[in-house]
Amino acid sequence: MSKKIVLLPGDGIGPEIMAEAVKVLQVVDKRFKLNLSYETGLIGGCAIDEHGVPLASSTLARCQQADAVLMGSVGGPKWDALDSSIRPEKGLLKIRYEMGLFANLRPAILYPQLADASSLKPELVAGLDILIVRELTGGIYFGEPRGIRLLENGERQGYNTYVYAEHEIERIGRTAFEMAMKRDKRVCSVDKANVLEATVLWREVMQSLASEYPEVTLSHMYVDNAAMQLVRAPKQFDVIVTGNMFGDILSDTAAMLTGSIGMLPSASLNKDGKGLYEPVHGSAPDIAGQGIANPLATILSAAMMLRYSLNEAAAAQAIEDAVGKVLDQGLRSADIYSEGMTKVSTQEMGDAVVAALTV
């Protein structure tokens, strides 16, 4: 039986980078006999244009029935002025929530070939390999009540609610501990337990989980300190586990440490291991349609998809090795270009990965 993948290219550079990822998937499909089949759907601004909403329920239903979803990126200035209830980002939040994708894995890996791309000194980041495990379907992003209300004095007040139930903390905690078991066996749980009760509970639950994973060392850090430590001495971290909003912020910081957000994939998994895979970077509307975007984060997201949702580790590894090879060859898209390297287009980069896979 074929494995069904729903492709959601999205907006901006999304369609361009998706085309390259599909090209790469088709090659590994043949080589590893994966028997993949594809459907394409709309999410984000393009879905608003077509259906009036950023994620149609028919698209969501197809994603729920698929084995995995590969997404490009959503959003752009064209839709910025829309009411917040139908902005492109809402489509992304909806698919995360409705598919129960609570575990967001965001690796921040510095490729040795790109050590100079970081804004930090090379010795601080050489060999960097952090995994941020971000809770993705709870916390202040989804907490109720929320809104903007009118106070008695006629002034408006905006409000959101930071909530975490024990089971939500426990399941993301388990993901982090299990990931750590396959890595350097260190988990740093990031909270704001000196101020927020929701994260006092977060810390307690993480502590109680630790006894089930005696090989893993658990530490705790307040989010402000974690932000500072990430730019001071990032290599101290192995796995970072944190809530939705802190994870949003820290994962961008961690991505920047590598100097090339255009290289970073991500996975969002539910309890059954089904997932949505997407590059960490956004839709880059300023360069959309120019054929200069870096497709590697999407190609590496496809590799994560093979590894985590389709159980095809060898195919995933082959893609990752091929990406390493094209970097070794000195090929660079504009975002990671430095002097002496060969600047390539989106399509040329995809072709180079395909070529590296076929030798």
**Site residues (CB under 6 A) for ligand IPM, limited to 276-335:** none
Element (H or E) spanning 319, and its range? helix 313-328
Position 16 contacts Mg ion (CB under 5 A): no
When the beta carbons of 89 and 170 are compared against ligand IPM, the nearer one is: 89
CA gap 72, 131 in Å, rounded: 21
- Applying CB under 6 A, the span of 89-97, 199-207, 208-216, 316-324 interacting with ligand IPM comes to 89-97
Position 248 contacts ligand IPM (CB under 6 A): yes
SS3 content of the chain, % helix, strand, coil (to 5): 50, 20, 30
Active site residues: 141, 192, 224, 248, 252
Position 98 contacts ligand IPM (CB under 6 A): no
DSSP 35: -
Backbone Cα Rg of the chain:
20
Position 248 contacts Mg ion (CB under 5 A): yes
When the beta carbons of 92 and 331 are compared against ligand IPM, the nearer one is: 92
3-state secondary structure of 340: coil
Q: Quick one: which of 39, 64, 89, 231 contacts ligand IPM (CB under 6 A)?
A: 89
Position 92 contacts ligand IPM (CB under 6 A): yes
When the beta carbons of 3 and 281 are compared against ligand IPM, the nearer one is: 281
In 1-13, which positions are buried (b, 16+ CB within 10 angstroms) versus exposed (e)? eebbbbbbbbbbb
When the beta carbons of 118 and 268 are compared against ligand IPM, the nearer one is: 268
CA gap 216, 235 in Å, rounded: 17
CA gap 253, 191 in Å, rounded: 16
- Applying CB under 5 A, the span of 138-146, 165-173, 241-249, 323-331 interacting with Mg ion comes to 241-249
CA atoms within 13 A on the CB side of 78: 17
DSSP 155: -
Query: Which residues of the shown chain bind Mg ion in the complex (CB under 5 A)?
Result: 248
Query: Which residues of the shown chain bind ligand IPM in the complex (CB under 6 A)?
Result: 89, 92-93, 248
